[in-house]
Amino acid sequence: MTQEIRWHRGNRAIQTQLATTLADPSRHVGKLELLFDRPGRRRLFRLTTDAGDRLFVKQICRRSFRAFRGAAEAAGLDAAAREWRALSTLHRAGVAVPEPIALGTLSNGDRVVATRFVEGSTLKDRLEEPDRCTRSEHNAMLVAVGKLVHCFHVAGYIHRDLHWGNILIAKSGPVLLDLQAALPASVAFARRRDLGHLDYSVSQQLTISDRTRLRAAALGIEGRFGPAERRALRAVGEASITSGRTHAASRTRRSLRPGRQYASIRFGLHRGLRRREVSERDVATVLAACDASRSDAGCQILKADARAQVSAVSAGNLSWIVKDYRNGGWLRRAADLFRGSPARRAWLGGHGLLARGIGSARPLAFVERRRFGVPVASTIVLEDLRGLESADDCPTDWADEREILAALSRLAIDLHRRGGIHGDLKASHVLLERAADGLNGRLIDLDGVRFRRRLSDRARIHSLAQLNASLPDHISNAERLRAFGRYAAAIPFRGDTRRCLSEIVAISLARRHRWTGSDCSLANQNRPQESAR
């Protein structure tokens, strides 16, 4: 930041000191500290002026401005101007936000916003370290955060990026940060969406009672909850679910382009992506060993059929699973032109599951080869989960049937609640690992994973029937019914539950897989119909 600054708003005396420090940082070593740098987007600094003032400086890069930059600046709609306007208005209204100090433009076109620096830790840091405060202090903090959000909304603004990382817990109380997306608005829907973002961001750290306490304070609800208050609290919960789906969908889409987490790879005619913690050399080594298909090359073929070959590859300290898809005839290749190659779909499905908090084999890289734009070959590299137990063949001394079905029902609930469909939800495609709270399931065979806004009863019934039919007969029908009861209680069917269960049984029997339905009354009721047909 060794550039001249043209100031537009703010404290003239501090502007002079600020400009002096920014003009030649080398002469002010120790006074300008870089806190965050995202190239091409923004840089954050902490600055101490000669007068001893501690400032927080945000540099919004010119390249990050959207289209029609000149018109946006002229109308005061660019991010820096919006943040300055929101800070000024809210600070005058007594809302706890950093005090605005200066707004300016660097000679290269970057915008600069300076505020008073506020000491503290983010709500995220505080909640991830619960031992830092007592229970009563924890509850008081949540109420104070909710009241801050309520005051912010009453002042006529919405944040549009309200999450636990943008709320600072200072000695004087919570402070609202990062207002560059804030806009004046008083529509109830916009406020609910703000609260939904906040509620979703804390959903993994707070209990439902804590989240209700935070929601109530943010809505300005005091005392006992009446029907209207309960409706308002439920509306925030629904907005939180929507926010979670939107966030997960955004993270899933980002997995298909290079960025902070993913990088492009290229091997001859093959193109693809890899996670950044995986080097391109390691991917090339593993794929070369897989192509050799020899045990002396560190490749062990685990499964091979007309659709794909699955291999375990060990090279040096690497141990990965490689799935090489054999794209079938031209009809399937034509379909892949629109839906993507199988490896690309598996990459997207795996990262989509992980983004939604669902256990999955982690995709590490994928490559595909195209001819005239049509995918003709593709390969995906996954983490090696061979140390886990398959749900359809668990040793009886490792887990009993009740534990297995509890883990499978939790997995099905999480998957369907978040709009996911596996495509081939068989017990052999679920690997179980033991955790402190019991067994957790992780999905494999990911190329059939899809995500929808809402799942129909029909889609859920077929998915549950796939899973039920793949479980062996020695798992009792009583435990199967208990698992189905947990599922139906967590995600009620729109139709009659008994009828849905009967359909699951009928479809399970029709699949003629591992479950024969012996000693099941519903299965016996369906048999005469099958024999009649």
Question: Are the beta carbons of 104 and 80 closer than 8 angstroms?
Answer: no
* pLDDT for the residue numbered 446: 93
Statement: residue 150 has pLDDT above 60: yes
Question: Are the beta carbons of 82 and 159 closer than 8 angstroms?
Answer: no
Statement: residue 470 has pLDDT above 70: yes
Burial of residue 273 (number of CB atoms within 10 Å: 0-12, 13-18, 19+): buried
Percent of residues, the chain, with pLDDT higher than 90: 52
* pLDDT for the residue numbered 64: 47
Where would I find the H helices in 255-329? 280-292
Q: Is the dihedral of CA 145, 148, 153, 154 positive or negative?
A: positive
> Chain-wide mean pLDDT for the chain?
86
C-alpha–C-alpha distance, residues 348 and 447, integer Å: 8
Statement: residue 1 has pLDDT above 80: no
Statement: residue 187 has pLDDT above 70: yes
* pLDDT for the residue numbered 531: 43
C-alpha–C-alpha distance, residues 421 and 345, integer Å: 13
Mean pLDDT of 338-347: 91
pLDDT-wise least confident of 129-143, 256-270, 304-318? 304-318
Q: What residues contact 228, with CB distance under 8 A and at least 6 apart? A: none
pLDDT-wise least confident of 219-223, 317-321, 439-443? 317-321
Mean pLDDT of 383-402: 84
pLDDT digits (tens, 9 = 90+) for 362-390: 999 999 998 888 888 899 999 999 889 99
Confidence of residue 29 (pLDDT cuts 50, 70, 90): low
C-alpha–C-alpha distance, residues 417 and 423, integer Å: 16
Mean pLDDT of 506-520: 84
pTM over 0.85? The answer is no
pLDDT digits (tens, 9 = 90+) for 479-502: 899 999 999 999 999 989 999 999
The CA-atom distances, in angstroms, between 416 and each of 71, 86, 230, 505 are 45, 40, 26, 19
pLDDT digits (tens, 9 = 90+) for 55-90: 898 988 875 445 445 545 545 568 899 999 999 999
Statement: residue 24 has pLDDT above 80: no
Percent of residues, the chain, with pLDDT higher than 70: 91
Confidence of residue 473 (pLDDT cuts 50, 70, 90): confident
